[in-house]
Amino acid sequence: MNHKAVISATALAAAMTFSTASHAGATLDAVKEKGHVQCGVTTGLAGFSQSNDKGVWTGIDVDMCRAVAAAVFGDAGKVKFTPLTAKERFTALQSGEIDMLSRNTTWTLTRDSNLGLNFAGVNYYDGQGFLVSKDLGVKSATELDGAAICIQAGTTTELNLADYFRSKGMKYTPITFDRSEETIKAFEAGRCDVLTSDQSQLYALRIQLAKPESAIVLPEVVSKEPLGPVVRNGDEDWFKIVRWSLSAMLNAEELGISSANIDDLKESSTNPNVRRLIGLEGIKGQGLGLPDDWAYSIVKQVGNYSEVFERNVGKGSALGISRGLNALWADGGIQYAPPIR
């Protein structure tokens, strides 16, 4: 039995090494040859990746893929999406089925070190939070001692919750469900006082209440969930392209460049930082092996980070999530990108 396990583990490891090694440095060439970026997304997660009634994908994770396509091809439309479940996402990336994974994936040590993956940045800082009914009169998570809490089973959410309550010396009664729809229905029916999940999901669940304004999301965040795009180990060039595609969107917001004003700025701006991002001076796309106007294409066709955020999960969407941690560092958040120069 043990012997067998060793053999299959070795075979698995060999297969993984093989598939990653054969890719080194070749992803960009392969992508160019195919003519599109193959991007792994969720099978449907409000605000992150969802398809509308015309089959068009939208979402903050989807826009990350489009940004990479815009950088590589100068055309944000040259991207194809592979909907993946949580269990198959890493295999799809390791086996080369997709070029990048932008699927609501938390950056952790285990994943970064053990799975042969590279996280190219953070496009959304999420964290586990609590949704409570307004009638409860609770203002902070520290007042939740003895509460009945609805959770989705089998997620790290359960573990985080236990850790948090134990560290605060509080008691709670967990009520677990299999799917988010059931969880929110149970919360609405009053089977639990509190519902816990990632904050981004709490907003999506809140809309499903008959009276969304009757519930509030508490300010406390009990876990760190930095979500970001992932690529395979062993192809630094491709890794950098994805990382800088994200950085370009953040830098554009910081510099006040948006899809609306970028053409004007291209003509008139004298700010060297703006001119460098647009690709009029500086290193341009040379180091990344991309066209000079790579960042221009991203901002023009996809938008800066603020546009992407507000359109998909922020004020421009039904979710109405505030920027919070995802605000730029200059505005009190922690979104910070290295400069383009």
Partner 1 sequence: MAVIQHTPHEDLPPPVSQTGVIGWLRQNLFSSWLNSLLTLLAAYIVWKTLMPLIDWAFIKADWIGTSREDCSSGGACWVFVSVRFKQFMYGLYPEAEQWRINLMAILFVLLMIPMFIKNFPWKKWLGMFILFGFPIIGYYLLSGGAFGLEHIETSLWGGLTLTLVLAAVGIVAALPLGILLALGRRSKMPIVRALSVAFIELWRGVPLITVLFMASVMLPLFLPEGAQFDKLLRALIGIVLFQSAYMAEVVRGGLQAIPKGQYEAAEALGLSYWKSMGLIILPQALKLVIPGIVNTFIALFKDTTLVLIIGLFDLLAMIQSATQDTKWLGFSIEGYVFAAVTFWIFCFGMSRYSQALERKLHTGH
Binding site for partner 1 (CB under 8 A): 11-12, 15-16, 18-19, 22-23, 43-47, 50-55, 80, 82-85, 87-88, 91-92, 94-97, 181, 204, 207-209, 317-319
Tokens found for residue 315:
């004020």
How far apart CA 323 and CA 250 sit, in angstroms, is 13
DSSP assignment of 92-120? HHHTTS-SEE-SS-B--HHHHHHSSEEE-
How far apart CA 292 and CA 278 sit, in angstroms, is 8
How far apart CA 310 and CA 253 sit, in angstroms, is 12
Tokens found for residue 165:
């309550």
Q: Where are the beta strands (DSSP E) in the chain?
A: 37-42, 50-51, 57-58, 79-84, 100-101, 117-119, 124-126, 128-133, 147-152, 172-177, 194-198, 215-217, 225-227, 230-232
DSSP label of 279: T
Q: Which residue has the tokens 């359960």?
A: 158
How far apart CA 341 and CA 338 sit, in angstroms, is 9
Contact 303, 286 (CB under 8 A): no
Q: 140-161 as b/e, with b when 16 or more CB fall inside 10 Å? A: ebeebeebbbbbbeeeebbebb
State the amino acid at position 40 in one-letter form.
Answer: G
To the nearest 10°, report the CA torsion of 277, 329, 338, 322.
-70
DSSP assignment of 241-252? HHHHHHHHHHHH
